[in-house]
A and B are shown apart, each in its own frame.
Chain A
Amino acid sequence: MKLGLVIDADNCVGCQACVVACKQWNTSGTLGPLTDHDPYGDEPSGVAFNRVRSYEVGVFPNSKTVNMPMSCMHCETAECVTVCPTGASYKRQEDGIVLVDQDKCMGCNLCAWACPYGARELDDVSGTMKKCTLCVDRIYDDALPEEERQPVCVLTCPSNARHFGDFDDPDSHVNRLVRERGGQQSLPELGYNPVNRYLPPRNKPHVGQERGTTPGGFADRLKGWLSRSVSR
């Protein structure tokens, strides 16, 4: 099984719902608490597994705003795992989720430097590295109703721009989306082979133009309209 996310850049409006849902769930989750520094002060900051970045492509008036939610890509060639000196970082064989064993992590930051996606964040109070778990503490929780066994970012997304599934299953929802919509990896040239995929903007729909009659002014139009009546 190869679990991961499909993120639909054609629907993401950059609302940050997934960012905050992730924070909310995970601060009481398996990697919690997610420390916040100076929460009401001059430089608030905190651990987050998921952040949305917004970019512009093109030049006015042909510019396009693209919102890119970024979290762990659960790479197949996970360099963050390779560089870990303690074995705390690992990619689960069962499902490909990349995790950090908090008991073994010494907070050395090597994995964060190895990750080109900025997916890992050091919690300097626990002294450990933290990152997206794909909500491992939800998706395998048999006590939750089946429809809730998904990452919270997917469940909460108002734009339905996030999808979760098994990329090993050719018929899975995520694989179908990738096939139909031309799903892309982020920074594939770096060779980490990320599992998550991004769906690019769709082609613009074509709409015909109804031309009607030859354009006319009031006097022209009125000639034809004078005989018009409608049964009330």
Chain B
Amino acid sequence: MHDMGSTMLNSILRGSFAPSIGEAGERSEAPALPAFEDHSGQERRYTTCYMCACRCGIEVTLENDQIRFIRGNPYHPVNKGVLCAKGNAGIMKQLSPAKLRNPLMRKPGTERGEGEFREVSWDTALDYLTQRLRDIRRTDPNKLAFFTGRDQMQALTGLWAQQFGTLNWASHGGFCSVNMAAAGLYSIGQSFWEFGDPDWDRTKYFMLWGVAEDHASNPIKIGIERFKRRGGKFVAINPVRTGYQAVADEWVPIRPGTDAALALAMCHVLLSRDLVDWEYLGRYTNAPFLVIDAPGTSHHGMIARDSDGQPLVWDINGECVADGMEAGVDAALFGEYTLPDGRPTRTVATLMAEKYLDDSYSPKRAAAVCGVPAETIERLAMEMAHVAFRETIEIPCEWTDWAGRKHDRFIGRPVAMHAMRGISAHSNGFQTCRALHLLQLLLGTIDVPGGHRAKAPFPRHTPPPNKPAQRSAPNAPLDASPLGFPTAPEDLVVDEQGRPLRIDKAFSWEAPLANHGLMHMVITNAVNGDPYPIDTLILFMANMAWNSTMNTASVQEMLRAKDENGEYKLPFLVVVDAFHSETVNFADLVLPDTTYLERHDVISMLDRPISEPDAAGDSVRIPVLEPDRNVRPWQEVMVDLAGRLGLPEFVDGDGRPKYAGYTDFIARWEKTPGIGFLAGWRGEQGDRHMRGAPNLDQWKRYEENQGFFQHHLPEHMRFYRFANRDYLKWAKDVGFNASSKPIVMELYSEVLQRFRLAGQGVYDGPLPPKTMDRERLKRYFDPLPHYYPPLEEQAIDQERYPFHAVTQRPMFMYHSWDSQNAWLRQIATQNFLFMNRTRAEELGIADESWVWLESHNGRVRGQVKHMEGCQPDTVWTWNALGKQSGAWGLSPDAPEARKAFLMNHLISELLPDAHSEGRLGNGDPITGQAGWYDLRVRIVPATDRDSETSQPQFPSIQPLPGADQPPSLLRYTTHEPVRLVRSMLDIIKRR
């Protein structure tokens, strides 16, 4: 890290400070410094942070069984020694008074949500749960829904659900970032954040799209600084100028939800001036593929293929169609060609150019939509083209492409981008992310030096070949994971009538490519019995009764709702969490988890590993503290439950539990021979990496290596991996990809076209039964990315609700997790509604006044702050600072409960009625991603002057049994301080 700094320090310390200072007489008076720390009583341990999802390596110094200090591990590839505010506050997470202490069951005779619990033993809790789950599994496994929040073990939770046999499993991606992940995986085989990174050390132009402070935290800060130090230009496209935007060279204030219009106008500029990397497009994307032009038929818009299913191109030499995957064929990029059977076709590039060169994509038209001046759009496009084509990088290195052709260099177009929730949390987010990838592809910047580079196990094929499981059966595992990548209507998880089979309606006609499931719809759908009622919902680490849901108050009501027999419509709710969240209050059974410092974990190559562009990597958590409460890590409990339930992967031939516990499971379980959760130190001797037999000493080896493993790729396998023979072969060998065929990046999505044909009623296969779904397929499933206004905006009166309302996560807090943190809450206990000063003054809204914020779904009251760096049509606030009174170990009148507010109340999980003939989720019509950044509001000054509290207010949650009274004074220290004393002589001489 700070190389220069440490060099400097060496020079200070080498000579010691004493000899160079002052007169000899004075020097002798300077007392030697005391030994401030007794290192002999300290121990340093290594694990992985979990104060957010960044997965930084940390070194924890222990002293007297307490944490003396947590710092970033300098050798760790993610954070390279640095640590953010959250990571630095781990001590106070460990000390949180909101920590759960015992399993809890709702007291018989009390109502759900009253918070009346009794403490029970783990045996009681697990015996009860096992019996309930066994009954469900024996009858209808789908009656169990298991959804997880910010867990980093989806490979395990997914395996567990698959073995249980329920389709109803997913993590929180449906309201987090599935648009980004799905658009990337269906287009370029990778995406942003965990999938790929800007090539920070080589790029010369960095464009950041939308809110991204949260993913990833430290790596982006490290990257931006390194990038700026090299003199690159940083352009931030964001309605708000805070955080990373503060250090951008250019800030482009944009209206929320209009980024696709901006990106596609840039594509228009590039095409109209012929500033496109045609070689790159022609070789590595489907640009030359022939698209059948036969309107009204089932092959219209499909890529023409030969009898083996190979895509066809026009061979310009032979003047005939040819296999587009045949090496060396000279393929026409443009034009109309007739297939041997007489059907007309045009190339993808032709369709693309025609679409985006249309005047509807001109900067002038985009300017009216996104509020960015046309000249700015044009200039930014031409700046990127300049950097891509005039400041090209060449790295001399021999590499071999997929066809066996040798190349002597990697050519790099040093323009890089990053995008995250600001793009994905809109109902047009999938197509917006596709638009960004299109822009990247026109400039030739994907997986090239200086561009956007994939991180193992990416790139994968577009999309990866695994399809979601479609059927469940009693007492049987599913034949596939509940989540996957549909490529055609046949892959949907629907019944013969086309009705959803999953509780969240993922992979239904309403959300065909819902790759991450739709966690935000589970409670609503289950309580409405639509598509069917369930018995038990297990929520892990997700605050679904508060800040992790849309329409919070209504979700709380749904959790309390009873049928005509007086039974809860959602019969049984299990909440697994480490802390007393608002959702815990609604549980029937609470299973207390450990903190991150008390548990084993894997950050696995099968899941969301810590790879870097140059190295595949994974990591672990190793406990540094023993829990002082009756709590168990959830992964340990899952392995235990799996054994009790006899889930096949977890038991031996006699039905007895196969694994001694979680660590044993991780060490011994194999996905396929040689491939397990951890890639490092495999083989019986621990000398095999990436692939090898299980190693019972694997955990020890990780511990010896500070908790992480990296496999560095040789230089010739670091770029152009979608077409890099040696990389592709290796990626297949180590289990990342099912095949070593080249990965063809898709400008044009045949998958989307298949669904659009179904919407048009001409698909040769399943068709959507509802008109509403047909209309959505026709309108939104454009095989070439397009802009459309977010769905809420289409459905409401925009003049009545003139503002876009968005949230961001403060850099010092992660979701709802950190108001319980004594140090972090000192930075903020209240969120404000930030708005553009001039606009506020025009409306007569004074700084720090209280206002009502109203949407079609409800209203909240909060306090306004003026700012300059806010796009005038946008208001925003920090998310998740607002808490329900009494939750999270805070006093009932804490500002988090009385002054702070949640925007969530304003957001409906369903689209406004006007829009649809039935209930439609408030999300992206392609992926189902929750459109919580689509919110439109109006602002009304609050006239109720005597009440400067936020609204709505909720009843206070009761303390849990056995909860300690939170201290009123905190004086944390791990040892008696060693003071520095000034000598009396010094006082006398120098005053």
A133 / chain B contacts, CB cutoff of 8 Å: 980
Which residues 136-179 of A sit at the B interface, judged by CB distance below 8 A? 136-141, 143, 146-147, 149-150, 152, 154-161, 163-166, 169, 172-174, 176
From 532 to 546 in chain B, residues with beta carbon under 8 angstroms from any chain A beta carbon are none
**20 contacts across the A-B interface (CB closer than 8 A):** A15-B85, A27-B973, A40-B820, A59-B868, A64-B251, A102-B979, A146-B6, A154-B5, A155-B71, A155-B82, A156-B71, A163-B5, A164-B9, A169-B8, A205-B233, A207-B386, A210-B388, A225-B333, A229-B316, A231-B331
Whether the Cβ atoms of A228 and B977 lie closer than 8 Å is no
Residues in B whose Cβ lies below 8 Å from that of A108: none
Size class of the contact patch on chain B? 35 or more
Contact of A230 with B5 in the complex, beta carbons under 8 Å: no
- Expressed in whole angstroms, the Cα–Cα distance for A29 and B382 within the complex equals 54
Task: Considering the complex, give the chain B residue whose CB is closest to the CB of A8.
Answer: B225
Contact A35 B249 (CB under 8 A): no
- Whether, in the assembled complex, B12 has its beta carbon less than 8 Å from a beta carbon of chain A, the answer is yes
Does B980 lie within 8 Å of A150, measured CB to CB? no
Min C-beta distance of B95 to chain A, whole Å: 9
Report Cα–Cα, A154/B5, bound state, in Å: 9
| Residue of chain B at shortest CB distance from A24 | B88
B287 — which chain A residues lie within 8 A by C-beta? 230
A residues 1-52 in Cβ contact with B at 8 Å: 1, 3, 10-17, 19-21, 23-25, 27-46, 48
Do B333 and A228 have beta carbons less than 8 Å apart? Answer: yes
Among B187-195, B272-280, B756-764, the stretch in contact with A: B272-280
Q: Among the listed B205, B331, B827, which residue makes an inter-chain contact with A16, where contact means beta carbons less than 8 Å apart?
A: B827
A40-B981 in contact (CB<8A): no
Closest A residue by C-beta to B328: A231
Bound-state CA distance A169–B8 (Å) is 9
> Which residue, of A65, A136, A166, has the highest number of chain B Cβ atoms within 10 A?
A65
The answer, yes or no, to whether B74 is at the interface (CB within 8 Å) is yes
Which among B29-37, B160-168, B636-644 touches the partner chain?
Answer: B29-37
8 Å CB contacts to B: which residues of A90-136? Answer: 90, 93-95, 99, 101-104, 125, 133, 136
Contacts A173-B5, A212-B275; A10 near B868 (Cβ below 8 A): no
Chain B residue numbers with a CB within 8 Å of A218 are 353-354, 357-358
Cβ contact within 8 Å between A60 and B869: yes
In the complex, are the beta carbons of B12 and A1 less than 8 A apart? yes
**B39, B221, B331, B332, most chain A CB atoms within 10 A:** B221
B914 within 8 A of A: no
A23 to B90, CA, bound (A): 12
Closest to A97 in B: B980
With CB as the reference atom, state the residue of chain A lying closest to B279. Answer: A230
Q: How far is the CB of A88 from chain B (nearest CB, A)?
A: 7
Q: Is the CB of A33 within 8 A of B977?
A: yes
- Which listed residue (A1, A44, A95, A157) contacts B826, Cβ 8 A? A44
Please name 8 further chain A to chain B contacts, defined as beta carbons within 8 Å, in addition to the given A14-B242, A136-B36, sorted by A numbering.
A1-B17, A24-B89, A63-B869, A137-B978, A156-B83, A210-B389, A222-B350, A230-B333
Residues of chain A contacted by B33 (CB below 8 angstroms): 136, 140
* Minimum CB–CB distance for A191 against chain B, Å: 20
Are B243 and A209 neighbours in the complex by a CB distance under 8 Å? Answer: no
Contact of B979 among A24, A103, A225 (CB under 8 A): A103
A94 touches B17 (CB 8 A): yes
CB atoms of B83 and A17 under 8 A apart: yes
What chain A residues lie within 8 Å of B973 (beta carbons)? 27-28, 32-33
Task: Enumerate chain A residues within 8 angstroms of B836, measured Cβ to Cβ.
Answer: 60
| Chain A residues with CB below 8 A from B273, complex form | 210-215
A139 to B17, CA, bound (A): 11
Q: Which of B7, B221, B390 touches A210 (beta carbons < 8 Å)?
A: B390
Closest to B39 in A: A143
Check if A20 sits within 8 Å of B2, measured CB to CB: no
Taking a contact as CB atoms closer than 8 A, the residue among A12, A63, A228 that contacts B332 in the complex is A228
The 8 closest A-B pairs by CB, nearest first: A230-B282, A212-B273, A63-B868, A137-B36, A39-B822, A87-B987, A209-B382, A158-B221
Chain B interface mostly helix, strand, loop or mixed?
A: mixed
Give B957-972 as 1s and 0s: 1 = Cβ < 8 Å from A's Cβ atoms: 0000000001111111
Whole-angstrom distance between the alpha carbons of A30 and B872 in the complex? 49
Chain B 222-240 interface mask (CB, 8 Å, partner A; 1/0): 1011101101110000000
User: Chain B contacts of A36 at CB under 8 A?
Assistant: 822-823, 826, 969-972
- A155 contacts across to B, CB distance below 8 A: 1-2, 71-72, 81-82
Measured in the bound complex, the distance between the Cα atoms of B222 and A35 in whole Å is 32
Inter-chain contact A93/B26, CB cutoff 8 Å? yes
Q: Are B390 and A208 in contact (CB under 8 A)?
A: yes
Cα(A59)–Cα(B866), bound, Å? 12
From A27, A45, A141, name the one whose CB has the most chain B CB atoms within 10 angstroms. A27
- Residues of chain B within 8 A (CB-CB) of A221 are 271-272, 274, 353, 357
Please, which residues of chain B bring their CB within 8 A of the CB of A94?
17-18, 21-22, 30
CB distance from A226 to the nearest CB of B (A): 5
B114-122, B620-628, B889-897 - the one binding chain A: B889-897
CA distance A42 to B350 in the complex (A): 64
Which of B170-178, B319-327, B608-616 binds A?
B319-327
Is B456's beta carbon under 8 Å from chain A? Answer: no
Cβ contact within 8 Å between A173 and B4: yes
Of B83, B353, B869, B984, which one neighbours A158 at CB under 8 angstroms? B83
Chain B CB within 8 A of A188 CB: no
The verdict on B649 contacting chain A, using a C-beta distance below 8 Å, is no
A217 to B271, CA, bound (A): 9
Which chain A residue has the least Cβ–Cβ distance from B242? A65
A229 to chain B, nearest CB (A): 4
Asked if B814 is at the interface (CB within 8 A of a chain A CB), the reply is no
Nearest-CB distance from B138 to chain A (Å)?
Answer: 45
Q: Is the CB of B225 within 8 A of A159?
A: yes
* Given A65-B241, A204-B233, A232-B331, A165:B5 Cβ within 8 A: yes
Q: Is the CB of B382 within 8 A of A205?
A: no
Chain A residues lying within 8 Å of B736, measured Cβ to Cβ, are none
Residue of B87, B274, B383 near A208 (CB, 8 A) is B383
Contact A205 B328 (CB under 8 A): no
Could you tell me the distance in whole angstroms from the C-beta of A25 to the nearest C-beta in chain B?
A: 6
Indicate if the CB atoms of A21 and B26 lie closer than 8 Å: no
List of A residues within 8 angstroms of B328 by Cβ: 231-232
B441 within 8 A of A: no
Given A36-B822, A150-B5, A221-B274: A24 touches B69 (CB 8 Å cut-off): yes
- How distant is B411 from chain A, measured CB to nearest CB, in Å? 14
Taken together as a complex, chains A and B put the C-alpha atoms of A224 and B82 apart, in Å, by 52
Distance in angstroms between the alpha carbons of A43 and B379 in the assembled complex: 49
A102 vs B976: C-alpha distance in the bound complex, in angstroms? 13
Is there contact, CB below 8 Å, between A42 and B893? yes
- Roughly how many angstroms separate A48 CA and B826 CA in the complex, as a whole number? 10
Q: Which of A29, A165, A232 lies in contact with B313, CB distance below 8 A?
A: A232
Smallest CB separation, A93 vs chain B (Å): 6
Contact yes or no, A232 B329, CB < 8 A: yes
In whole angstroms, what is the CA distance A102 to B251 when docked? 47
The CA-CA distance from A204 to B327 in the complex, in Å, is 45
Cα–Cα distance between A59 and B81 once the two chains are bound (Å): 37
Residues of B within 8 A of A138 (CB): 36
Q: Does B70 contact A (CB under 8 A)?
A: yes
A90 engages B990 (CB within 8 Å):
yes
Which residues of chain A are within 8 angstroms of B250 by Cβ–Cβ distance?
Answer: 204
A13 to chain B: which residues have CB within 8 Å?
A: 221, 224, 243-244, 246-247, 811
A161 CA to B72 CA, complexed, in Å: 16
Interface residues of A in 58-91 (CB under 8 A from B): 58-61, 63-67, 87-88, 90
Q: CB of B476 within 8 A of chain A?
A: no
A138 to B8, CA, bound (A): 15
In chain B, what residue has the closest Cβ to A56? B868
Asked if B970 and A39 make an inter-chain contact with CB atoms under 8 angstroms apart, the answer reads yes
Please report the C-alpha to C-alpha distance between residue A158 and residue B79 in the assembled complex, in whole angstroms: 8
CA distance in complex: A159, B82 (Å)? 9
Nearest Cβ distance between residue B252 and chain A, in whole angstroms?
Answer: 9
**Contact residues in B for A35 (Cβ distance below 8 Å):** 969-971
Kindly state the separation between the CA atoms of A207 and B391 in the bound complex, as whole angstroms.
Answer: 10
Using Cβ atoms and an 8 Å threshold, which residues of chain A touch B869? 56, 60, 63-65
